[in-house]
Amino acid sequence: MKKNNTCKIVIATHKQYDFPQDECYLPIHVGRVLGEDIGIQGDNVGVNISSKNPYYCELTGLYWAWKNLSYDFVGLAHYRRHFCIVEKKDKFNSILTMAQVTDLISNNEIILPKKRKYYITNIYQHYARCHAKEHLDAVEVIIKKEYPSYHESYKKVINKRSAFMFNMFIMRKDILDEYCSWLFDILEKLEHSIEYKTLSDFDKRLFGRVSERLFNVWLENFKKRHPEVRVKEINFLYFGNVNYYSKITGFLKAIFLKKKYKKSF
C-alpha cells in the first residue's frame, strides 16, 4: 500500500490500548489470524506470517510491515514501549511525534533505542543462563554455513556487554528490506534446527528473543559495509508496571543458581 508520508511506525499489539494518534503510527494486531478482532489493522492480510505469532512475537508485525508497506522509512514499536526524545511529566505526550520523526530521518538512516547494558554477563552468557544456549548455538551454525561473512560479527556481538534490544527501530525502507531478508531467512532455518512447538508458551517465543541478538549481529556487519550510514540512538518509554524485585531476583537466580526464566517480569 503506497502512501505519501515519509514514515510509518507500526505498533505491535495483541489488545486494545491507548495508542498515540499521530499520523506516523499504525497499530497492528499481531497474531490476528489466531485471535478475536479488536478493531485495528491485522497482520493476517496481504503477505504475512500471522500464524507464527506464538513463536515470533512482534516479528509477525515486522514481517507484515516489510512485505506490505511502501514508505520511505518504516519503524517498529510496541504498545507498551515507544520512542521519545525527552521524557516529560506527562509520559504519553512524550511519545515521538511525526514532526520529531521527520527531523530525525532527515539526518539519519537508522533510529534505535539506547542500548541495554549487561553488567554481570555478556550477551551469550545472559541468554544461555536465562533461556537456552542451544538456540544461539544453532544460530551460529546457520550463520557459519549460510552467511559466513557475518560470523565475525556474531562472535563480536555475543561477547559484548550491551546491545540494542526490544526489537525497536526506524529504518530507511531499503535498509529494512535487507535486514528482514537476512533475519527471516535465518529464523526459518532455525525452525528446522530445533524442536520448539512442544515448549511452554513462554519458551516457545524464542524466535522473538533470538532476533533481538541477531539484529545486533546484522547491524555490526552492516555498519562495516556502510560506514557512511548514520545511526541515531534516542530514549524510549515503557508503559506499565515493572516488578523490579522479581526482575532482579529472577535474573540473579538465573545467573548464579542456573534457574531459567519461566515467565516475563
**Which residue reads 535486514 in cell numbers?**
179
In terms of Cβ atoms closer than 10 Å to its own Cβ (0-12, 13-18, 19+), residue 123 is buried
Angle of CA points 135, 259, 151, to nearest 5°: 25
pTM of the model: 0.93
Instruction: Give the pLDDT confidence of 149-178 residue by residue, as tens digits.
Output: 999 999 999 999 999 999 999 999 999 999
- CA separation for the pair 197, 127 (Å, rounded): 20
**Contact yes or no for 109/229 (Cβ under 8 A):** yes
Residue 5 or residue 126, greater confidence: 126
- CA separation for the pair 16, 213 (Å, rounded): 29
**Rounded mean pLDDT of 106-130?**
96
- CA separation for the pair 22, 95 (Å, rounded): 9
- Hey, where are the domains in the chain? 7-256
Angle of CA points 169, 172, 173, to nearest 5°: 100
Instruction: Give the pLDDT confidence of 29-84 residue by residue, as tens digits.
Output: 999 999 999 999 999 999 999 999 999 999 999 999 999 999 999 999 999 999 99
- CA separation for the pair 88, 216 (Å, rounded): 29
SS (H, E, C) the chain: CECCCCEEEEEEECCCCCCCCCCCEEEEECCHHHCCCCCCEECCCCCCCHHHHHHHCCHHHHHHHHHHCECCEEEEEECCEEEECCCCCCHHHHECCHHHHHHHHCCCCEEEECCEECCCCCHHHHHHHHCCHHHHHHHHHHHHHHCHHHHHHHHHHHCCCEECCCCCEEEEHHHHHHHHHHHHHHHHHHHCCCCCCCCCCCHHHHHHHHHHHHHHHHHHHHHHHCCCCCEEEEEEEECCCCCHHHHHHHHHHHHHCCCCCCCCC
**Rounded mean pLDDT of 202-210?**
97
1 pLDDT above the threshold of 70: no
Q: What pLDDT does 3 receive?
A: 45
